[in-house]
């Protein structure tokens, strides 16, 4: 227990590193945790969904640790519940028997703007996207031309699916969604809610029913309910920021 606590404290301390290291990041972080298996490549291969040709996720954005997989998870909720761990950069879909399907996520500024419990009353395939008022104020040159929104498609920021979170019948403005920018997944980003690889959000959406309960942890609760075996790898991830192929932030 002492060793686990020490590792987790180290991990939480390292969550502050992206802001410091971001200025030095010039390319997507390389795959530092071993070779990618053929099974993993197949999991993230190109696919066709609702007429859209979803590109494959390149090896450099993957590791065997980061791929979606069943893991031990000890959250005290019923099977089917989703737990979002923004600080840990994972989403867990509880499967029962103290296990969960774990998905890698990217966390934008809005991703830390909500915590607690919510429900998913509906989801959308290839959803329409409209920039928020904050986005328009912050960067009118970038978002002004699309102030009226974008239809679903490969360049839409919400990607292949969006799961909408409501609390007490009101929209939290919090979304779990895909992304056209796979290099951002697993990292802190400048904007957005919780984004996933398109292949992963399609997989998750197929398992989720309307009315599903969602629990969103605070940043300070990072790594909660894990069994400790993944903490060293989480520590290794904590200092990484998201940069695009041209070195720009995602």
Query: Who contacts 3 (Cβ-Cβ below 8 Å, separation ≥6)?
Result: none
Contact call for residues 29 and 62 (beta carbons, < 8 A): no
Contact call for residues 22 and 241 (beta carbons, < 8 A): yes
**193 catalytic per annotation:** yes
Q: Which of 24, 177, 187, 203 is catalytic?
A: 177
Cα 75–Cα 78–Cα 80 angle in degrees, nearest 5: 100
How many residues belong to the chain?
250
CB atoms within 10 A of CB 199: 24
DSSP code, position 159: T
Among 118, 122, 244, 230, CA closest to 190: 244
DSSP string over 171-217: EEEEEEE--S-GGGTTSB-SS-SEE--HHHHHHHHHHPPTTEEEEE-
Q: Which of 24, 74, 93, 193 is catalytic?
A: 193
**177 catalytic per annotation:** yes
Task: Give catalytic residue positions.
Answer: 177, 193
């Amino acid at each position: 227990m002492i060793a686990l606590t020490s590792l987790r404290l180290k991990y939480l301390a390292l969550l502050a590193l992206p802001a410091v290291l971001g200025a030095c990041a010039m390319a997507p972080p390389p795959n530092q945790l071993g070779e990618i298996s053929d099974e993993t490549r197949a999991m993230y291969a190109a696919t066709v969904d609702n007429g859209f040709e979803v590109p494959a996720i390149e090896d450099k954005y993957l590791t065997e640790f980061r791929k979606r997989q069943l893991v031990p998870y000890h959250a005290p909720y019923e099977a089917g519940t989703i737990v979002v761990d923004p600080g840990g950069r994972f989403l867990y879909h509880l499967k029962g028997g103290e296990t969960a399907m774990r998905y890698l996520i990217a966390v934008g500024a809005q991703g830390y703007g909500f915590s607690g419990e919510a429900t998913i009353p509906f989801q959308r395939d290839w959803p329409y996207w409209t920039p928020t008022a904050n986005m328009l104020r912050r960067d009118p040159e970038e978002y002004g031309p699309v102030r009226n929104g974008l239809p679903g498609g490969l360049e839409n920021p919400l990607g292949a699916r969006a799961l909408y979170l409501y609390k007490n019948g009101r929209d939290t403005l919090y979304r779990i969604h895909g992304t056209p920018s796979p290099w951002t997944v697993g990292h802190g980003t400048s904007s957005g809610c919780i984004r996933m690889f398109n292949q992963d959000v399609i997989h998750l959406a197929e398992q989720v029913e309307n009315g599903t309960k969602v629990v969103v942890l605070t940043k300070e609760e990072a790594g909660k309910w894990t069994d400790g075996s993944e903490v060293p790898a989480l520590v290794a991830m904590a200092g990484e920021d998201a940069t695009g192929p041209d070195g720009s932030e995602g």
